[in-house]
Amino acid sequence: MAETQEKALVARWYFGGLGAAGAACCTHPLDLLKVHLQTAQTTGRTSATKLAVKIVRTQGVRALYNGISASIGRQLTYSMTRFAIYETLRTHLTGGDPKAPLPFYQKILTAGIGGACGGFVGTPADMINVRMQNDIKLSAENRRNYKHVFDGAWRVYKDEGFLKLFRGAEVATFRAILMTIGQIAFYDQTKQLLVSNGVLNDNMVGHFTCSTIAGTLATAITQPFDVIKTRLMNAKPGEFRSIGHCIMVTAKLGPMAFYKGFVPAFVRLAPHTILTFMFYEQLRKNFGYIPIVQKKEIVVEKEETIPVVEKKETD
């Protein structure tokens, strides 16, 4: 009975954001290296390992955690929104039954809607995150020196205007749609197929395997959009006229410029995806709830039969 109830537990709407924030605390240095490689204006290859060693030697280990407050703030806006919308719509479409299979196309549509909303909502924190991470490679006079995510958001609003907080929102939103499909929809589908067919169990090994597959697909799909989004958010005023101009400037560096930072992006996103779903599943199993399943009752009306009394004929 306990096992049945455990399997029937549903995650609360904020579990995804908490899981992603916990994962960000572990993978932030990898995210910082990815941003440095993507914003580099060189055509040569730069080793992520050499870059990490250089940062630690020149500025210390703490420099690898530049922008951590913005990274957590991004997950608590971006990831919490997309997980919340996906879980809410999924519960609605399945009638509240966590065991009911959802068609894959509905998972993609649901993840797309959640990703679009999450990408837009999380753009300000994402931009502050990129700027804070990129600050350490700038000269002292060119650094923005944001103290934390709230200080960065306030200074952008005060110095550049409210709309600048949403710079790169179009690319961030489109990337978030693909990312959410690659991560959440594919994780959900992979878990459904492997667990229902008895290949894996609904345990930590199964969660690790499914999230690894989802992380690999998500990285391959979103990397070019991630490069453009990072360059737009980190750009100085007037550096790029539009998204198209940014794409053209990046293309001049060669086709592989769109995949700059792919290795650290994969190394970051794969562990981030794994940790996010591991934390998420543990929160679900320990603090989830058993939903009230909406069952359709079929009422069968019985026909009332009236007994017929036969009259005997008397002679």
Residues 58-94 have pLDDT tens digits of 888 888 898 899 999 999 999 999 999 999 999 889 8
- Express each pLDDT in 220-229 by its tens digit: 888 888 888 7
Domains and CATH numbers, the chain: 2-287 (1.50.40.10)
- Express each pLDDT in 89-138 by its tens digit: 998 898 878 778 899 999 999 999 999 999 999 999 999 988 888 887 77
Q: Report the alpha-carbon distance of residue 66 to residue 129 in Å, rounded.
A: 9
Q: Is 10 helix (H, G, I), strand (E, B) or coil?
A: strand
CB-based contact 129:65 (threshold 8 Å): no
- Look at residue 5 in the predicted model and tell me its pLDDT: 43
- Amino acid identity for residue 268 in this structure: R
- Express each pLDDT in 143-179 by its tens digit: 888 989 999 999 999 999 999 999 889 888 988 999 9
- Look at residue 7 in the predicted model and tell me its pLDDT: 53
More confident residue, 41 or 273: 273
Residues near 272 by beta carbon (within 8 Å), at least 6 away in sequence = 20, 23, 24, 26, 27, 30, 31, 215
The DSSP string of 159-218 is HH-GGGGGTTHHHHHHHHHHHHIIIIIHHHHHHHHHHHTTSS-SSHHHHHHHHHHHHHHH
Residue 253 has pLDDT above 90, yes or no: no
Q: Report the alpha-carbon distance of residue 174 to residue 177 in Å, rounded.
A: 5
Please name the helix (run of DSSP H) or strand (run of DSSP E) that holds residue 3, with its range, or none.
Answer: helix 2-7
**Average predicted confidence (pLDDT) for the chain:** 85
- Look at residue 158 in the predicted model and tell me its pLDDT: 93
3-state helix, strand, coil in the chain (%, to 5): 70, 0, 30
Q: Report the alpha-carbon distance of residue 270 to residue 131 in Å, rounded.
A: 23
Provide the token pair at 256: 């592989």
- Over range 12-16, report the average pLDDT: 93
Residue 252 has pLDDT above 50, yes or no: yes
CB-based contact 210:277 (threshold 8 Å): yes
Residue 43 has pLDDT above 70, yes or no: no
More confident residue, 24 or 299: 24
